[in-house]
Structure 1
Amino acid sequence: MTAPADLLPPGLAADVERASGARIVAVRPRGGGGASREGAELSLAWPDGRACEAYMNYDVHRAGAGDDAAFLREAAVVRGLSQTGSASGLRLAPFIAAIPEQRALVAGRVEGEARFDHIKDADQKASVGADYMAQLARLHAADPALVPELGGPVPIRDQVERRLKSIRTASERGGTRDPLLRLAADWIADNIPREPDHQVIVHGDAGPGNFLYQGDRVTALLDWELVHIGDPMADMAMICLRTLFQPFIPLPAAFAAYEEAGGGKVDLDRVRFWRLLLQAGFARGGRYDDPSAPPPPNLGMNMIFSLIHRRVLAEALAEANGIALAPVVLPDVPPAPHDHSFTVALNDLRDVIVPRLSDQQADTKAKGLARLVKWWRALARYGPAVEAAERAELDAALGQIHATLAAAREAFADAVFAGAMPRVDAVRLAHARVARDAALMADAMGGLSGARFLPLT
């Protein structure tokens, strides 16, 4: 029989027991929180006879959002707001323990469903969505002094400049320049909004998938790894990003519910600014081919999330600059010589491997692997023709024939980073590349292939 500690990364079980004072009776590995963390359900028992069911998110490889300081802020918010939530009406899972060294946060298990798309009744969708927005309004009304670890307000311009610095750094990471991120950073720098009327506790990752519900009521707000003091419109913008991957109520209805609950007027211009800024932060791309980078929890899904963010960023950047985009489609080419072998592998994963997996975490990773196989199949079939089309497009725009696609991309980056190409042309070219990448991964994306921002009005 497998010991509970053996189902967790080395040393994590002992750290949880030391921090909580409880003994781990049972462990049930889960898929984790979001795209960046792994998770487990725990049965805990204390020496005085108390027992409870708990849930733990952990990121022992530090592959997720934020840094160690961000984890400490997250733990402080869960501890502080879960203890005062009953007075303010906020609903959080009760804090049990935090292990900063492994970025592990343990909280009491709260009953509820996280998948908003599981709601089929229209009235229930409307009620849950409105209740969530009311919870967000209560969060924004909470006194930041309840969580002193968050620090005091910082001017919004300074917050944006700090994020801009990170985006610009990412645009030149590892000696590889990213024209799309540079173009986004330039637009952001030119459009920083005025200071908001007041700053609040910003959840930082607000939206569907980051709360639990039961019936027509939200039971807990989840995933506080991006929490900070800032502009409340940043949470409205983050809802826009999260609806790329999960359904929610229409945004005009969500914003109206927020205002009716006392959250203040939703400023759509500020929402658009934060939406593009946050999108740029999530569109940096992963170091998936870098052997020195920590392995992502689910390579297939992480790559898909990253690519969707990049495509939507390119579309939002074009909209912000008033640029009309032409559709990008894959060329008509026959299947590659080894196409059938990909089909065999996919059938084995779908029909043999996944049905026999009782471990939910392994099941999640196997499905992620199937997405990778679909992508590899598309690369084998369409990759050469797609690369030829991109090279011809760059050659025409730059007025020079390049020996390789890598050389053409380098010349394009030179032009963007030097400000030597009109922004309209540069945005169109950056979009064309990411649109082709998305087309190659469309089969792997499945239903996510059509992810777009929902209308704000």
Structure 2
Amino acid sequence: MTAETSSKTFDQDQFKAECIAGITDWVAENLGGTVVSTKRLERWRPQWKVSYTVDGQEHAVLVRGNRPNAGEHDLRFEMDVMAALEANDIRVPHIYGWMDTPKAFVMTWIDTEDRAPGMLHTAIENPTTMSDERWQAMLSYMDHLAQVHAVPVSEFTHIKSLSEPPETAADIALRATERMYMAGVYTNNNDSVFEFLQHWLRRNVPEHRTKASFIAGDAGQFMSAGTEVLALLDFEIANIGDTHWDLACFRGRHPYENMGDIPALYRRYEEVTGEPVDLPVVAYHTVAFLQLAGIATKFFGDPKAIGGNWIEGMLEYASITRRACEAIAELQGFELDYDLTLPEPAFKSLEESALQKMLADIARLPTSSAFQDWERDLLHAIPEFLLNHSRYRDWFEGESIRDINELTGGRHTDLTAADKAIVALIAHNDSDDDEALVRIMHHRSLRLSMIIAGTNPDPDNPLFHILDPILAAAD
């Protein structure tokens, strides 16, 4: 068992040394190059920019490692998808191949301006902006996305997860979310919010959408220079499904990554494809995309995973589940209440003392190339959250129990029992209680966001950004 795979024996310096040695050997053997530098990038997965020389000329590649809790197949899947896209003249980085140490695949490094990492914890501190040039590139990206959707499904059937394209409207709409839902079941990462979202998705399938296409899965991610699109990126959840899933991704990612005028992007897509965008279907797939992304955030919290980003998972969980409720509310035509106020904090002396001690000691931890400043900051953010959570936990649980008891008629006094009651109601709900359930789930997610931020809802904080509506703009 290596340092890369064992949490008991893991050593940061050893891990770094093994990775650099493996990368150096791979570059020499496969690219005929001599590595001159490796730089680990700030992401929740290990990635490196690797610079090397061949005959005195400098080149660079990106070594893309695996997400925590993901299997080797998941990373190979993304590599195979990108290779198929490259073979069909889609503008993706050239794929050089697979390496075993570290488990990663290698692609051309794209020289461009810094791209926002698309993480909420960074967007809160440094909100992303949209320059005029990036906006023109965004519009051009819609042309490239249309080309991606036009690649025949048959070009991907050699890839195991894409070998049997969906045929019915229900399978097209639900395949990705059913897989993620079952992953949540198997790992005990589902909760009452995801139970409701999946039941809602099953009951509201767009039956008229029967064309299956290749979809990026997490669309909107690309590198640009000025107004030019240089390369499309991030195909780890690519699938065969409804193209409107990809259109929904723009709403799901914004404003963590500023996507600009989303309705204008949809109009550009219509111009390029010659087909109208069905906005209610985009709204449906907004819920679907957020369901998948929301369950994925729960995997960030695995304490046995090496690396990862626990606090990003918590931030995204609170924001994503709330915005999924907002997507349903817009589609079904009812208003949600944001008029919530934090109570006075309840200070618990033991937790205050212990967590303040952790914060002080983490702040003093030495950093190195193996444990960088940004990694220490992410670790520091965990007890910061727990300190706030301890101050408002009783309020959060009490309000959540009260909401559930009002709907179910129960007299529960603890949140675990109340959650079991609402899950039982969801299992038998035929839409009569949808509005009440959405309001309960929305308030719960909003309260969690308030605890994380330590403030009442603040529209200037991306954590509280309300999902941009799309249906009213079409009226």
TM-score for the superposition, normalised by structure 1: 0.81
Q: Contact between 1:73 and 1:149, CA under 8 Å: does it hold in 2?
A: no
Deviations 1:226-252 (A, max 9, x none): 223332211101121111421122111
Residue in structure 2 matched with residue 329 of structure 1 by the alignment? 341
Aligned AA for 1:53?
Answer: A
1:72 aligned to 2:62? no
CA offsets, 1:22-80, max 9 Å, x none? 45623211123xx4x2201113456x8876210111017443xxx65553342123224
Distance in 1 (alpha carbons) for counterparts of 2:425 and 2:468: 33
Per-residue deviation at 1:82? 3.1
* 8 Å Cα contact 2:23/2:101 also seen in 1: no
Against the structure 1 CA distance between its residues 178 and 393, is the aligned structure 2 distance closer, same or farther, given a 3 Å change threshold? Answer: same
Distance 1:363 1:398 in 2: 48
One-letter amino acid of the counterpart of residue 60, structure 2:
E
Q: 2:256 pairs with 245, 270, 275, which one?
A: 245
Q: Deviations over 1:161-195 (max 9, x none)?
A: 43353355356455676222222122211221245
* Equivalence for 1:43: 51
Larger mean Cα displacement after TM superposition, 411-420 or 212-221: 411-420
Q: Deviations over 1:334-361 (max 9, x none)?
A: 55546587668667877x76xx856497
1:84 CA drift (Å) = 5.0
- Residue 166 of structure 1: aligned partner: 179
Q: Does 1:55 align with 2:62?
A: yes
**Contact 1:331–1:386, Cα closer than 8 Å, also in 2:** no
CA distance in structure 2 between the partners assigned to 1:92 and 1:158 by the alignment: 28
- Per-residue CA deviation, residues 176-215 of structure 1 (Å, 9 max, x unaligned), is 76222222122211221245475433111111xx211111
**415-424 vs 219-228, which deviates more?**
415-424
CA distance in 2, matches of 1:397, 1:319: 22
* Cα distance in 1 between the residues matched to 2:202 and 2:88: 38
CA contact (8 A) 2:345 2:392 kept: yes
Given that 1:279 and 1:313 are in contact with CA atoms closer than 8 Å, whether structure 2 keeps it comes out as yes
Alpha-carbon spacing, 1:306–1:385, altered in 2? closer, same or farther (3 Å): closer
Corresponding position of 1:254 = 265
- Check if 1:401 corresponds to 2:440: no
Listed as ranges, the matches of 1:79-228 within 5 Å are 79-83=83-87, 85=89, 90-99=90-99, 104-115=104-115, 122-150=131-159, 151=163, 153-155=165-167, 156-169=169-182, 172-173=185-186, 178-194=191-207, 196=209, 198-207=211-220, 210-228=221-239
Residue by residue over 1:85-104, the C-alpha shift from the partner in whole angstroms, topping out at 9 and shown as x without a partner, is: 3xxxx422111112479651
CA gap of 1:241–1:403, structure 2 versus 1, over 3 A, is closer
Within the alignment, does 1:283 sit opposite 2:294 as a pair? yes
Question: CA shift at 1:384, angstroms?
Answer: 2.0
- The answer to whether the Cα contact below 8 Å between 1:314 and 1:430 also exists between their aligned partners in 2 is yes
| Correspondence for 1:378 among 363, 372, 388 | 388
* Ranges in structure 2 where 5+ consecutive residues have no aligned partner: 1-11, 117-125
2:385/2:452 contact within 8 Å kept: yes
1:451 counterpart residue number? 465
Deviations 1:114-154 (A, max 9, x none): 53689867432331221222221222233455555354642
* Superimposed CA distance per residue, residues 368-426 of structure 1 (whole angstroms, 9 cap, x where no aligned partner): 22332321121121112322232333334333333433222222323323449833333
1:308-347, CA deviations, whole angstroms, 9 ceiling, x for partnerless residues? 2122122223333444333333222355546587668667
What residue identity is the alignment partner of 1:408? A
| Structure 2 letter corresponding to 1:57 | R
Do the aligned partners of 1:233 and 1:274 also contact (CA within 8 Å) in 2? Answer: yes
State how far apart, in whole Å, the 2-side matches of 1:364 and 1:8 are.
21
Task: Report if the CA contact (8 A) 1:387-1:405 is conserved.
Answer: yes
For 1:371 and 1:431, locate their aligned partners in 2 and report how far apart those are by CA, in whole Å: 24
User: RMSD of the alignment, in Å?
Assistant: 3.8
Asked if the contact 2:311/2:381 (under 8 Å) is kept, the reply is: yes
Secondary structure of the 1:96 match is strand
3-state SS in 2 of match to 1:407: helix
Q: Structure 1 residues 149 and 18, CA, compared in 2 at 3 Å: closer, same or farther?
A: farther
- SS of the equivalent of 2:158 reads helix
Contact kept? 2:128, 2:256, Cα under 8 Å = no
Amino acid at match of 1:411: A
Task: Indicate the SS of the match to 1:149.
Answer: coil
- 2:123 aligned residue: none
Alpha-carbon distance in structure 2 between the residues aligned to 1:196 and 1:306: 29
What TM-score do you get using the length of structure 2 for normalisation? 0.78
Distance 1:21 1:270 in 2: 46
Q: Is the 8 A contact 1:40 1:56 kept in 2?
A: yes
Q: Which amino acid aligns with 1:247?
A: N
Secondary structure at 1:111 match in 2: coil
Matching of residues 294-333 of structure 1 within 5 Å: 294-295=305-306, 297-327=308-338, 328-333=340-345
Instruction: Give the direction of change, closer, same or farther, for the CA distance of 1:246–1:94 in structure 2 (3 Å limit).
Output: same
User: What is the DSSP-based 3-state SS (H/G/I as helix, E as strand, rest coil) of the residue aligned with 2:205?
Assistant: coil
For residues 15 and 401 of structure 2, the distance between their equivalents in structure 1, rounded to whole angstroms, comes to 52
Q: Decide which moves more: 294-303 or 411-420.
A: 411-420
Separation in 1, partners of 2:53, 2:177: 46
Q: Which runs of 5+ in 1 are unaligned?
A: none
8 A Cα contact 2:93 2:231, kept in partner: yes
CA gap 1:185/1:146 in 2 versus in 1, 3 angstroms: closer
User: 3-state DSSP class of the match of 1:283?
Assistant: helix
User: Cα distance 1:230–1:289, how it changes in 2: closer, same or farther (>3 A)?
Assistant: closer
Q: Taking structure 1 as reference, are residues 16 and 195 closer, same or farther at Cα in structure 2, changes over 3 Å only?
A: farther
Contact (CA 8 Å) 2:367, 2:376: kept in 1 or not? no
CA distance in 2, matches of 1:60, 1:18: 26
In structure 2, which of residues 266, 275, 299 is the aligned counterpart of residue 264 of structure 1?
275
Give SS of 2:298's match. Answer: coil
- Distance in 1, Cα, partners of 2:413 & 2:130: 57
